[in-house]
Amino acid sequence: MLGPSLHGEFLRHAVLQTVVPHAPDVDIEAALTSALEEGADDLTSVLKTIPQRSLLFFDETVTVRVVLRLSNCSENALRAHLPQLDIGLDAFVFNPTEPVSTEASPTTKDLVFSGVVNDNEEPLVVVNIFEGDEGSGNHVYVIWKIQAFLRRPRIRIQHPSIAFSAAATLNTTAEIPEQSLQEDDYLPSAVPASTNVLQALSTDPSLKSVTPYLPASRLLRVVPATQKEAPVYNIWQKIQNSIRIVPAASARIRCSRLNTFSSRPTTIASLDLEATPFIGCDIIFDKADVVLCDGHAENLSNVPELQPPILLRPRDDVTLMYKLIPEYGPEAYFSTTALVSMLDISLEGVIKLSDDCQPRISMQWRTNVDFSTPLNPTFGGPSQTLQRNNRPASLPVAPGHSSSSSTGATNRSSYRERAHSITQGGVTVSFSGPATVELGKPFQWDVFIVNRSMAPRKFAMMAIPRRKRLDPRKHVARPSSSSVSSRKEDHLAEAVTDESIIHALQKNAVGQDADLICLSTDLRIGPLLPGTCHSAELVFLPLATGSLHLEVIRLVDMNSNETIDIRDLPDIVALEGSA
């Protein structure tokens, strides 16, 4: 087993760098060998000979090569330390035109990717032996391949660029010797003692029995020992090259309800695909899927030109139409509870940059669709001759008949547990979660918030559990001796709270076991501009079986400190886990 000092010397003179080749399948071994034969010495000059990407795209899965150069590394050391080496890669999007960052005004940047190298993947090793003035040596190049998905930043950045930063960590498993087994630095073994300068005076009879002793080390100049360099177990990439990054395509979906008077109105979803003008090449979308969680989506764009693969040139805009058909029964539309379902959109395409470089982009997101209908859709909109503020969108009309079957009850229960929404205070909040949960296993609610006001909003969301209320009839107030004795004086009033009541409440108080715990203690949302939406998650842990409930979901406006208490929430049914 190698000692700690040998572990720390492995990365002593190592250099780490990243490169994004223009062709993902480039023969990097041949490129490095050719560059070394031409006389390139440092790692930056070697990597410049490889054609690299000058433009990247959001939603792209790019191939990044991480190159580690080791100096004077033996084959045995390389085999011993490579399995213990962890390589990580981060990608940051920033604005290169911003001034140099300081503590007062840091540079705006966002992390769009963070990953590590797969341990099962064997790296590529290239060895270069050279002859120098000080003798011969070698440079060992170790190359890893990482697939990085570049998601869109969460903040708005003007003229975005991306930079990759790699790090290497050596996880040593060598055992450090115990302190008792270490050598003593003050009395080293097998080292002769210092010479006695006064040894010649030991035979002087005047000194009698006294033996003079003066070590020669006292008379010599003491040179401080050179301190050993600290071992190196972590290195980072020092030179980071920025690459311009732009969105290759944009997509959005809009849902609209047809103005029909049937008992089951139709909802149409239009998916818009647009190729941005930042690129001068074509995009081929070979996948466009729209999936409705509580139903199915019927594709209305049956034209061959609108079937994948779809070819888009710069500035082209294509709209795909879908008919959303939920699984709710007709009687569910007369319910006062909102009918909300989740809609999953998945898009994949290939950018035709060149014959050897064809990046692939992928976009996936989830939104909610409200299938609730007005209580009286025939009420219509206001006429031009009569305009009133706060005019209701519909008038309540009782249904002509009431037929509740077992099938309708089942449907209402299913969508009631899956999704629910509420509109209050200029904001629409939708909750969706599983119909049943398992005892002791965390589950999550998907929260979708839409700002329908005309001002930016910022919220904080918290879940308040339901607490059992004590029965006040268990205790009967009795006069206390202290309050009776204190009434002897007329100017002394009776106690506001009797001490006997306080003592009885404390004595009868019992601990309340929590049935449901919210693991998302403080959820911050925003800022949300007018008309924008945000998706978040609430994680819960059920600790009891049966029907569980929350007291309230509280939404606090961070600007005005106004609170919105949401009490009508989806049901939670906890079941025993399967053995």
Residue 181 pLDDT: 39
Give CA–CA dist 422/343, Å, rounded. Answer: 18
Residue 410 has pLDDT above 50, yes or no: no
Q: Where are the domains of the chain?
A: 4-175+231-244, 248-376, 417-469+514-575
Residue 414 pLDDT: 41
| 532: region left, alpha or beta (phi > 0 left; psi from -120 to 50 alpha) | beta
Percent of the chain with pLDDT over 90: 20
47-56, 505-514, 527-536, 546-555: least confident range:
505-514
pLDDT digits (tens, 9 = 90+) for 67-115: 999 888 888 888 888 888 889 999 999 988 876 555 545 568 899 999 9
Give CA–CA dist 219/198, Å, rounded. Answer: 12
- Greater pLDDT, 53 or 337: 53
248-376 and 417-469+514-575 share one CATH topology?
yes
Cα–Cα distances (Å) from 121 to 146, 293, 537, in that order, read: 10, 37, 34
167-176, 285-294, 330-339, 529-538: least confident range:
330-339
Residue 361 has pLDDT above 90, yes or no: yes
Residue 207 pLDDT: 78
> Which runs of consecutive H residues, i.e. helices, occur in 398-480?
406-418
Are the C-beta atoms of 151 and 121 separated by less than 8 Å? no
Are the C-beta atoms of 552 and 522 separated by less than 8 Å? no
Residue 331 pLDDT: 58
Q: What dihedral angle (degrees, nearest 10) is formed by the CA atoms of 81, 84, 86, 87?
A: 30
Residue 494 pLDDT: 62
Class of domain 248-376: mainly beta
Class of domain 417-469+514-575: mainly beta
Residue 396 has pLDDT above 50, yes or no: no
Q: What are phi and psi of 121, to 5 degrees?
A: -90, 125
Q: Between β-strands 135-150 and 60-71, what pairing exists: parallel, antiparallel or unpaired?
A: antiparallel
Nearest to 217 by CA among 199, 196, 202: 196
Residue 129 pLDDT: 82
Residue 530 pLDDT: 83
Residue 81 pLDDT: 86
Instruction: Give the pair of three-digit tokens for residue 53.
Output: 């990407």
pLDDT digits (tens, 9 = 90+) for 523-538: 888 788 888 888 888 8
Q: ∠ CA 372-375-381 to the nearest 5 degrees?
A: 100
Residue 384 has pLDDT above 70, yes or no: no
Burial class (CB in 10 A: 0-12, 13-18, 19+), 61: middle
Nearest to 298 by CA among 326, 317, 318: 326
Are the C-beta atoms of 283 and 249 separated by less than 8 Å? yes
